[in-house]
Chain A
Amino acid sequence: MKDSCTGCGKCEKTCPFGAIKVENKKAVVQDNCNLCGGCVQVCPFDSLELERKVEKKDFTNYTGLWVFTEVKEDGTVRNATLELLSKGKELATELGQDLCAVLLGSNVGELAGVLARYGAKRVYIVDQPELKEYNTDAYSTIIIGLITKHKPNIVIIPATPLGRDLAPRIASTLEVGLTADCTGLSIKDGLLLQTRPAFGGNIMADIMSPNTRPQMATVRPNVMKMAEPVEGARCEVVREKVSIERGLLRVKVVERTRTSMPGEKNIDEADMIVSGGRGACDEGNLRLIEELAKVMGAAVGCSRAVVDLGIKPKSHQVGQSGKTVSPKLYLVAGVSGAIQHLVGMKSSDVIIAINKDPDATIFQVAKYGVIGDLYELLPKLTEAIKRERGL
């Protein structure tokens, strides 16, 4: 805190932790300051300072941008990885470094072609039977080994349940910076600038890790745009063999059952989601929502209340304790808009909300707000779309 402070109070209002109080026309930083730096930005007089030094370490031997490949149950690459490759290609080009993919699994070698089409110049493959299913210990140990050996500058991982289990394990062991659930990535002064939401999406933060390598981030699925694949693109393949001790596989899945019906559309990667809340539960079902979703070719989402009522399994739940989705279309009816639901869907491209209450919070995030009775509107809309589609 410098003498130039006039006690204007801007910092006091900005502080997310309530840790600044203006006393006698001077801002005083209290003990509960979290050193987040929010106040430094808003001070018109440059009175506040956070002392941090960029260490003069030589990181020139760290090069390349790596993307972790998440392989789905059916043996294909998850879209989230392809999105990261697409974004990674831009960033790697800007840095003048190689875009690489890391691929772990069993009989996954063929996927290198897919990764190449989305921009990977080199793919590091560890292909062994023990890696057929994801295992925290095995995957993290192998990737830590690869990072230590090949020294990438940047490692990005999809912020899926798997990625969010894996990434902190790697970063903590390597003692490097990791930013969770980013919605934006760019290059600034040769460093990875990572943008992420916090406080339920009310504020955004730009984060960097200047003093450690690799710079690591997990990135929210469905946010980065997937590029068009380049047919005929090729890549270098680096195969690594590792020995996996049985003792390393400490966590075992002893039982596994599918919660969704086979053939049912999954909300994670759906382009369109039709979603319903408590208000759309008619006689213990979500029929009106499901019928509309069917004619639209959309996946069915729901709020927590619907799961609590036992009407839909949790795999359909959108929100803080469910899934975060960002489809091109999120059409929602009968959800008033609790923050926990909004967090899970507000980054969707086009949100259409139907609600009886003109003051429903859901309208704050919607592009189109329909004030009306869903029991009257949804069946008519379903019929109208059927006609449009010639069904």
Chain B
Amino acid sequence: MGKALLKRAGLLVGTLLLVSVLAFAAFSVIPGDPTTSVLGAEATREEIAAFRAQHGLDLPVWQRYWSWLAAFVTGDFGRSFKFDMPVSELVATRAQVTLVMAALSFALIVAISLPLGLISARRRGGVVDRLVTVLAQVTMSVPNFIMGIGLMFLFALVLKWFRPEYVPLEDGLGAHLRFMVFPALAVALPKSAMTVKLLRGSILGELGQDYIRTAYSKGNSQSSALRRHVLRNAMIPVVTFLAMAVGDIMAGSIVVEQVFTIPGLGRLLITEIGHRDYPVVQAIVVLLAAVVVGCNFLADLLYRVMDPRIAER
């Protein structure tokens, strides 16, 4: 088990390095330059040359990458060209916003999909099951930004449950969460639909297994057979799916932040790509990749804990 995990951890670091190389390479290929966005179109030749020298932009790509990497691993993410402040400070405040939304989305996915999946599997063909099947089909096929616009329209404009204006954490946690729950829902709904379908199928698959018949033959009631035997086995693929869904949640929030004008990592990423603010973009890309890869690693770990057959290998 230890050896396999070590291999996974190695793969994790390798993936992050690759992502950082690709991000760096992308910016040396695409047109545009931070000098124009920072110094303006009127800047003189000398000013531009001084700016480039100051930020090391005149060095070859591999040298720039190397010094960036050396600083990054020590926790120094560099300075933003545009804002002239440490990237870590800039990212930290924005990351908090995105993390709240991601955590909220994840909680919503779990809270929506686990009970619904359980009910529709237990009462297969019943009213809830049929309703969930139709709703899941519809929800799954709607992209999250459309979902966002739809939720905004319904809850902000028609029902007036919230004002479509960002409420920062400084205005109070309750108010902040009350606003954030809607964008989080836009991200969570399509994922919840998939999770419900997966869980339902997984439970039904396990219910047909021989060991469930054994459980009944010992005098288990339906609910204790479900609780003691079915759920653990049925949750194995679901937990893996949920851990991997975190990556999609992060990606989804980048888009949904635009719809709800939330000053999170996603919005910062988009605007700073426009400004060619390399240090900021580079840091966000690698951090997002780290979250995704880290969650996959966690999924692998959970899988091993939950399924003794895998743990052996």
**Chain B binds chain A:** no
- B residues contacting A by CB (< 8 A) are none
